[in-house]
Amino acid sequence: MTEITKTVCPYCGVGCGLEVSPPAQHGKATNRDSQGNPIWRVRGDKAHPSSQGMVCVKGATIAESLDKNRLRYPMVRDSLEQEFRRATWDEAFDLITQRIQTVRLTQGVQAICMYGSGQFQTEDYYIAQKLMKGCLGTNNFDANSRLCMSSAVAGYIQSFGADGPPCCYDDLELTDCAFLIGTNTAECHPIIFNRLEKYHKKNRKVKMIVVDPRRTPTAEAADLHLAIRPGTDIDLLNGIAHLLMRWNYIDPAFIEDCTSNFPAYAEVIRHYSPDVVAHRCGISVEDLETAARYWGQSKRVLSMWSMGVNQSSEGTAKVRTIINLHLMTGQIGKPGAGPFSLTGQPNAMGGREAGGLSHLLPGYRTVKNAQQRGEVEEFWGLKPGQISPNPGLSVWDMITELENGNVGLLWIAATNPAVSMPDLERTKKALWRSPFTIYQDAYHPTETAAYAHVLLPAAQWGEKTGVMTNSERVVTLCQAFRTPPGEAKADWEIFAEVGRRLGFEKEFSFTNSAEVYTEFVKLTCNRPCDMTGMSHEQLQTEGSTQWPHPEKKPEPIYIDSDTGVLSFEEEGGEKSYELGVKSYELKSSTPNSELLYRRSDGTSVPNSKRLYTDLRFHTPDGRARFGAYHSRGLAEPPDPDYPFVLTTGRLYGHWHTQTRTGRIEKIRSMHPQPFIEIHPRDASGLNITDNQWIEVRSRRGKSKFPAKITRAIAPGTVFVPMHWGALWAENSEANALTHPESCPDSLQPELKACAVQLVPI
Ligand code: SF4
């Protein structure tokens, strides 16, 4: 292959477009890695709507990870004490299907579990749902999105009636106030941050507020950094709401016309007076008032968050409390405004569309909803009642059910739970107890491979064609540009072959991923994430496309941005309607409307990049719901025995558990080892010097890190990056310390905070 291949970066949810060309095309000597493999050339795709040619160090170096430490052949063993031996695919498939049948007969289908990944392409996700939830009849499919975005999913569903980030990246350059909470965007979503920072520097009236216990590179760029105590996010958000109410910065018409449950919320925020909130959060009243003033005086506020909000035992409440601020000020559905979750994984969004969590079904449906279950059963040709009405096991529930001996088969794919799960010693012990674990991955060794009976080699980025959806709902076709090494296969092909061998030949008769995608998008018809206008062919010819993108284009609707008059074609004539809310907003009951702003000069501006521009939500009454929450704080607050709060996070160069980035020299030299950040006051109290090794102990385990003494972290709080597993740094695993207490609504564990003690060694 000699031409340039367009694809998307397989690391974070920014979803930067990439162009890949073969090494030989670039003349001179072909670049080779240390093992002699030719390195493909990667550069940003200037035509990609989300990234416009920009990439960070991870995207720029991705090609260097393609050939290192790849799993090339199926491997099997009878017990975890034995060495693996190479097997044929036939042998591996026979073993897996026999084992599935045995577990079905002896323990029942609910003893079968699959744990997948936001690294999947949408086709992989879809086939896994069809196999597990449809053909086998168990909802025990969960993905590592449970550790990443499930609080955002639950928050959107509870507030708006459906999942889906309402904003788009253009809003970064249209906002008056960027409110970043629980997100180190500069390091974790660098290209989004580049756009925001450039705009912020050029427009000094634009405000940037960053809420984070650490002074991160993101916080360095802010007009206002609120270094709140870990676990006080809801106090802060309710405190801002209290001031917005007191200073009359709210939008009563929007609240009246477009929302429900405001009285309950108003009753809650009444209790969050500035002095109380400032005291709880550990900030000054002046800073709290400045944040509320920035928010209240801005016409357009864009809030962004990621793991600092989601990875919490009250994650859903935090998400809804952010959304509340937008609802009370009417800051949604218009350019530059709205709540915007920044997705961690490259295709966690595609996973949500395909139903890739244990309570979801394809097309933004839930297993609990009888009508939605019936729609999927009918579409898949299943008998009524085949899909279980009960949500399956979340990934932490899988761990506890392994402990209880209730799991007969665990299938893990494209994720590394032996590093990324909380309470790692307990997780590892549970994995060790699994009677039969299949581990499907592109790389070997990984920490999780030690707990597998069968290893299946997966094709990865660049070796299979499929789609991914990024944080702003832009869907990109990621085309294969090289053949997989050895006998590796696409994840969806592996799942489909197992399905066929279990007797579902017709259900899994796909010959390529384009056919899989074509079937999947039909299930999105008339759903909030309608993608029926998309296919591999369309994405290839027309480029990356944002949803909703229905096959049948809706009637256009126009809004006059000066007068607030709504008009649309009706029975041949144009009618106008006065609106009860702000002039640039409109109401319409037409789903998926093509919404345009009409300028005063008569031209129209497309506005279909955002959700809820018609101010109608997916709830039964069309209104967005306020969530009324008091702050509960950390699940494990510090105490005299464990006096410090440990917070965990990510570094600019590394990706998650280093399966790829740990093998790239440039990134390894940027971040050679883990560390613990300690404030000088705490360090001096414990006689800790810079680079001294510290044993960090929690109620669950211990780890060792060299100290990095810095004022970037607040006194009483310490920070450790989460990237290092046992393969890379023995006894330096952040998650040996963390706990699994989870949000009751999203089931997302509180990976961001636990209580620890520090012992200098
Ligand atoms: Fe890849 Fe994210 Fe970096 Fe873009 S910002 S190049 S998607 S890691």
In this structure, is residue 637 part of a structural domain? no
Check whether 615 has a pLDDT greater than 90: no
Tell me the residue ranges of DSSP E strands in 234-385. Answer: 259-260, 301-305, 338-341, 360-361, 365-366
- What tokens does 374 get? 């019936």
Check whether 585 has a pLDDT greater than 90: no
Pocket test residue of 8, 51, 56, 57 for ligand 1, highest count of atoms within 8 A of CB: 56
604 and 703 part of one domain: no
pLDDT at residue number 696: 98
- Strand 644-649 relative to strand 754-760: parallel, antiparallel, unpaired? antiparallel
- CA dist 100 and 93 (Å) reads 11
319 and 223 part of one domain: yes
β-bridge mates for residue 466, sequence order: 478
Q: Report the predicted TM-score, pTM, of the whole model to 2 decimal places.
A: 0.94
Ligand 1 atom with the smallest distance to the CA of 191 is: 5
- CA dist 41 and 223 (Å) reads 39
CATH of residue 398: 3.40.50.740
| Inter-residue contact 406 to 433 (CB < 8 Å) | no
315 and 200 part of one domain: yes
- CA dist 331 and 329 (Å) reads 5
360 and 444 part of one domain: yes
pLDDT at residue number 262: 98
The rounded Å distance from CA 454 to ligand 1 centre is 32
In this structure, is residue 550 part of a structural domain? no
pLDDT at residue number 202: 96
Name the band, by pLDDT with cuts 50, 70 and 90, for residue 543: very high
β-bridge mates for residue 8, sequence order: 17
495 and 445 part of one domain: yes
- Cα 669–chain centre separation: 27
Pocket test residue of 8, 19, 191 for ligand 1, highest count of atoms within 8 A of CB: 191
| Inter-residue contact 158 to 615 (CB < 8 Å) | no
45 and 105 part of one domain: no
Q: Is 178 touching ligand 1 by the criterion CB < 6 Å?
A: no
Question: Residues for the chain: how many in total?
Answer: 761
Pocket test residue of 7, 14, 50 for ligand 1, highest count of atoms within 8 A of CB: 14
Question: What's the CA angle centered on 293, arms 288 and 295, to 5 degrees?
Answer: 100
If you average pLDDT over residues 427-455, what whole number do you get?
98
433 and 566 part of one domain: no
265 and 359 part of one domain: no
pLDDT at residue number 639: 98
Q: Say what the ipTM of the complex is.
A: 1.00
307 and 237 part of one domain: yes
410 and 515 part of one domain: yes
Check whether 598 has a pLDDT greater than 60: no
Ligand 1 atom with the smallest distance to the CA of 56 is: 3
409 and 273 part of one domain: no
- CA dist 377 and 137 (Å) reads 11
The rounded Å distance from CA 99 to ligand 1 centre is 39
The mean-pLDDT minimum among 218-222, 416-420, 563-567, 649-653 falls in: 563-567
Residue in 264, 219, 221 with CA at minimum distance from that of residue 241: 264
The rounded Å distance from CA 349 to ligand 1 centre is 15
Q: Is 16 touching ligand 1 by the criterion CB < 6 Å?
A: yes
Q: Is 55 touching ligand 1 by the criterion CB < 6 Å?
A: yes
Pocket test residue of 8, 16, 50, 468 for ligand 1, highest count of atoms within 8 A of CB: 16
Check whether 592 has a pLDDT greater than 80: no
Q: Is 655 touching ligand 1 by the criterion CB < 6 Å?
A: no
Ligand 1 atom with the smallest distance to the CA of 12 is: 2
Residues 6+ apart with CB under 8 A from 402: 410, 430, 431, 433, 434
Q: Is 12 touching ligand 1 by the criterion CB < 6 Å?
A: yes
- CA dist 491 and 119 (Å) reads 10
Q: Is 191 touching ligand 1 by the criterion CB < 6 Å?
A: yes
In this structure, is residue 629 part of a structural domain? no
239 and 253 part of one domain: yes
Name the band, by pLDDT with cuts 50, 70 and 90, for residue 81: very high
Check whether 422 has a pLDDT greater than 50: yes
- In this structure, the residue with its CA closest to atom 3 of ligand 1 is 56
Q: Which domain holds residue 131?
A: 75-145+354-463+486-527
- CA dist 239 and 271 (Å) reads 9
The rounded Å distance from CA 669 to ligand 1 centre is 19
Ligand 1 atom with the smallest distance to the CA of 8 is: 7
In this structure, is residue 624 part of a structural domain? no
In this structure, is residue 327 part of a structural domain? yes
| Inter-residue contact 532 to 525 (CB < 8 Å) | yes
| Inter-residue contact 318 to 306 (CB < 8 Å) | no
The rounded Å distance from CA 114 to ligand 1 centre is 27
Q: Is 11 touching ligand 1 by the criterion CB < 6 Å?
A: yes
Number of domains forming the structure of the chain: 5
- CA dist 321 and 631 (Å) reads 10
- In this structure, the residue with its CA closest to atom 4 of ligand 1 is 16
In this structure, is residue 736 part of a structural domain? yes
pLDDT at residue number 589: 41
Higher pLDDT, 425 or 39: 425
Higher pLDDT, 335 or 366: 366
Check whether 579 has a pLDDT greater than 90: no
Higher pLDDT, 225 or 568: 225
Ligand 1 atom with the smallest distance to the CA of 346 is: 7
By the 10 Å C-beta count (0-12 exposed, 13-18 middle, 19+ buried), 257 is classed as middle
In this structure, is residue 162 part of a structural domain? yes
